[in-house]
Chains A and B, each alone.
Chain A
Amino acid sequence: MTRQLSRQNHAENEPFYGKLWHKLKHFPSGLAEGSETAPSVSGPAAAAVISAAIGCFTMMVTHHLSDTSKATEKIVWNLGTWIPGSKTDSDLWGNIGSYTGKETMLLVGWLISWPILHTLWKNKNIKSRTIFFWMFALLVAATAMCWHPLFPYLPLT
């Protein structure tokens, strides 16, 4: 049997750094308290987590597609020109390049799939195994795609 070793919260005896840490842990306070009305089903949570994984997967697919040809890379690069530093004239300072397009596709995949899934699932109870299957499958695939494939027709550029 484990003994409860934590002491009681003697607020009046707490040193100043204890009070400061307590305040920091609850900042911002509105967020720390949580929402007053909570969903009664798992659908909204499933939509949030799975759409995040879809965004990651979309970005990695875009990354590999952009490696297939210079023309595709240019298209991907143009998608990301809204990000500062995407294109510059300086070879000394460089530019971010098509990476901005890939970041854009992460945002597109994530922020488009989230409202769609939320609308579809907001009143549904999504099973635990469905949530975990898609989370793991998409994130493991996205992580594996962080390395160059071994196909000979996709040489390193």
Chain B
Amino acid sequence: MVQHSKQDSTTDLATSEFPRQLDIAQVSIYGLSFLSAGLFLFLPLVNLLHPSPWQRWMGTIHGMGAMCALLVMVYTGHLAFPLLRGAGKILPQMRTLAFWSTILSFLAIATGNWAYMRYRAGINFGGARALLKENSPLGQYVLMEYHEFSVLFTLPLTVACTWILWNYGDSILEKQNRPVLTATCVALMAIMFFAMGGMVSGLGVAKIQAL
């Protein structure tokens, strides 16, 4: 919402007909956020152009699920920092974000399980795991094994954080509950860490060998 500068403005040195600095900043941040989120969400759609029918289907669906989960978990993980410093205003949003992180984590894992089936197809049928073990074993033993296990860590952690944030309510900000707040925020940051690592390692595997 653009407003014209007023006499009592605290950010503009002189009144003018131009938008206030805060409005420019807000529009810029909204614009950049939509652009970067849109670009990231566009990335899994590139799988639709892949020659392999499995990569077209499974790669796109698991990619979209993983990307949505990553975006929400990273958003939540970033907000864990001000929450740790005691910003109580964001508590209701943190509770719902932790909940949606749980749902999206489950969906990303479920779609990943589906894609994993084709990943384990026989070598005569072009199975990615078999081909990776033959041609680039580190891709399976370092990248894929890290990916398939570390992302699973996000599910119990998101459930725990959702439950703690709901159960403790606003009293999580009180002094005696400081350990609880700290543990929850650190867990949210760990979720972000595992989600980011999982995305990068998954993209790495897909880059070497598709489904």
Contacts A44-B167, A52-B159; A99 near B96 (Cβ below 8 A)? no
Query: Do A34 and B165 have beta carbons less than 8 Å apart?
Result: yes
Query: Do A128 and B182 have beta carbons less than 8 Å apart?
Result: yes
A11 at the interface (CB under 8 A from B): no
Least distance between A94 CB and chain B CB atoms (Å): 4
Query: Do A91 and B122 have beta carbons less than 8 Å apart?
Result: yes
Chain A residues numbered 117-157 whose CB sits less than 8 Å from any CB in chain B: 126-128, 131-132, 135, 139, 142-143, 145-148, 156
Query: Do B93 and A25 have beta carbons less than 8 Å apart?
Result: yes
Query: Do A85 and B117 have beta carbons less than 8 Å apart?
Result: yes
Query: Do A59 and B125 have beta carbons less than 8 Å apart?
Result: no
Residues of A in contact, count (CB < 8 Å)? 63
Contact with A along B90-131 (1 / 0, CB 8 A): 011101100100000000010001101111111011010000
Chain B residues numbered 1-32 whose CB sits less than 8 Å from any CB in chain A: 1, 10-11, 22
Q: How many A-B contacts are there with CB distance less than 8 Å?
A: 166
Report the bound CA distance from A95 to B156 in whole Å.
24
B42 at the interface (CB under 8 A from A): no
Query: Do A52 and B92 have beta carbons less than 8 Å apart?
Result: no
Which A residues are in CB contact (< 8 Å) with B113?
83, 85, 96, 99-100, 103
Which B residues are in CB contact (< 8 Å) with A127?
179
| Cβ-neighbour of A33 out of B92, B125, B153, B163 (below 8 A) | B92
Report the bound CA distance from A5 to B93 in whole Å.
21
Which A residues are in CB contact (< 8 Å) with B55?
none
Query: Do A93 and B96 have beta carbons less than 8 Å apart?
Result: no
B40 at the interface (CB under 8 A from A): no
Which B residues are in CB contact (< 8 Å) with A40?
176
Q: Decide if the interface of chain B is mainly helix, strand, loop or mixed.
A: helix
Which B residues are in CB contact (< 8 Å) with A56?
152-153, 156
Least distance between B124 CB and chain A CB atoms (Å): 7
Which B residues are in CB contact (< 8 Å) with A99?
113, 116, 148
Contacts A49-B187, A85-B114, A135-B183; A32 near B156 (Cβ below 8 A)? no
Query: Do B117 and A94 have beta carbons less than 8 Å apart?
Result: yes
Report the bound CA distance from A31 to B167 in whole Å.
9
Query: Do B96 and A45 have beta carbons less than 8 Å apart?
Result: no
Contacts A5-B22, A49-B184; A94 near B165 (Cβ below 8 A)? no
Contact with A along B122-159 (1 / 0, CB 8 A): 10110100000000010001100110111011011101
Interface contacts beyond A34-B95, A148-B141: sample of 5 additional A-B pairs, CB < 8 Å, sorted by A: A35-B168, A49-B157, A55-B156, A110-B156, A145-B149
Give the interface of A toward B (CB within 8 A): 3, 5, 7, 13-15, 18, 25-28, 31-36, 38-40, 42, 44-46, 48-49, 51-52, 55-56, 59-60, 63, 83, 85, 88, 91-97, 99-100, 102-103, 106, 110, 126-128, 131-132, 135, 139, 142-143, 145-148, 156
